[in-house]
Amino acid sequence: MAKIVLITDTHFGVRNDNQILGKYFSKFYKNVFFPMIDEIKPNTIIHLGDVVDRRKYINFLSSNQLKDEFIIPIEERKIPLFTIVGNHDIYFRNNLSINAMDQLYNYTEFDIKNIETPTEINIEGLNILLVPWICSENKDLCYDMMNKSSCEILMGHFEINGFEMHKGSICESGIDTSIFKKFDMVFSGHFHHKSSVGNINYLGSPYEMTWSDYNDPKGFHVFDTETRDLTFIQNPYRLFHRFEYDDTNLTIEELDEINYELFENTYMKVIVKNKTNSYLFSIFIERLTKANVFNLQIIEDFLNLDIENGENIANQAKSTIEILEDYVHNIETKLDKVKLNSLFRTLYQEALNIE
C-alpha cells in the first residue's frame, strides 16, 4: 500500500511576485502542507503542473521561496518528487523544450523527476501514466501514449471541455472527455476549481490567488493506491474576504466579537447594505485598518441589488474574468465567443505580470 500526495497549480511568483501572496503561500506550506506530510508519510509526491506562474522568467525572491519552502523540505524528508510540466511552466507555447523545473533544477543536487514527455511509472504495483501539457509539438505523442497505455490511472495537466475553470465559468474548448474513458481514474491540474465528473477529477489549486477563488475550497489530496480513495486536505487560510455591513441592529459589542486578526494581509470587500450610524461604521473601518488589511474595498449597495441570494452584488464584486465573460456573452458579434473568452483570459493573465 502506498500513499501519494497530489498537489497542483502552486504558481510561485503569481500576481507579479506579490509578496502578500508569497506570505500567504508560506503559511500554507509551513502550517498545513508539511505538517500533514509528516503525519501521512507518503511514498511519493506528484505535482500536476504549473509549479511557477510566469512562462518567460522567474523573480529571484519567488525562485528562493520555491526552493526553500517546497523543494528543500521534500528533499530533507527523502520523498520522491515528480513534477508534471504545465502550460505556465513552458517558455514556448508550442513545445516543452524549455521549461521552468528543467532550467531551475536540472543541474542541481535535487532529485526531481520532471515529466516533459508521457511517462509510465509504477508505485507499489500500481501503474500510472503521467502526461505533461499537450501542445502542437507533442500532441500526437501524448494522444498515442494515452491510447496505447494499459495504465488504469492517468495524471496530467489537461484542458478538458465542459469543466469549470473557476466557479460558474465553464471551459467551452479543449480536449473531449471521450479520450479519458479507458482510464479508471483521471487526475488533472490546470483549472483552479476543484471538481469531479465521472472518472475525471480536477484537483484545484492549494490556495486562493484571485477573487475568482473566493469562497472556493482549496487544498491538496492524498491518493491511496490500494483502496483508491482520494482524500482532500483543505487549506484553512483565506486570502479574500467579503463582509456584509448592516448596522440596522448592529451593536458595538457585536463589532468587538469579530476576529479581526483573520483579515491581516488579506483582500477584503465590505458590502455596505445599511449605514445608519456613521460613528459605528468609522469604528469598524478603523479596526480593519489596524488589523492591516492589505486591500480594502468599500462597496455601497443601498439598493440591495443582491437581496435575493447575497452573491450577485453588482459588477464591483465580480472578478475581472467574470466581467469580461459577461461582456462577451451580451454583445452581438459574428466572432467566435469561445475564442474571444480564451483570448481575454490569456491577455488577463499576461496583464497581471506587467510591471
Q: Please determine, for residue 195, whether its predicted confidence score (pLDDT) is greater than 60.
A: yes
Domain boundaries defined on the chain: 3-234, 240-308, 320-352
Q: What is the mean pLDDT of residues 319-348?
A: 78
Of the candidates 36, 18, 15, 21, the one whose C-alpha atom is nearest the C-alpha of residue 220 is 36
Threshold 0.95, pTM exceeds: no
Q: How confident is the model at residue 289 (pLDDT cuts 50, 70, 90)?
A: very high
127-142 residue pLDDT tens: 999 999 999 999 999 9
Q: How confident is the model at residue 308 (pLDDT cuts 50, 70, 90)?
A: very low
% of the chain exceeding 70 in pLDDT: 92
| pLDDT in the model for residue 314 | 40
Q: State the fold for domain 3-234.
A: Purple Acid Phosphatase; chain A, domain 2 (3.60.21)
| pLDDT in the model for residue 315 | 43
21-33 residue pLDDT tens: 999 999 999 999 9
Of the candidates 214, 213, 207, 187, the one whose C-alpha atom is nearest the C-alpha of residue 198 is 187
Q: Answer whether 49's CB lies under 8 Å from 135's CB.
A: no
> What number of other Cβ atoms are within 10 A of residue 15's Cβ?
15
Q: How confident is the model at residue 307 (pLDDT cuts 50, 70, 90)?
A: very low
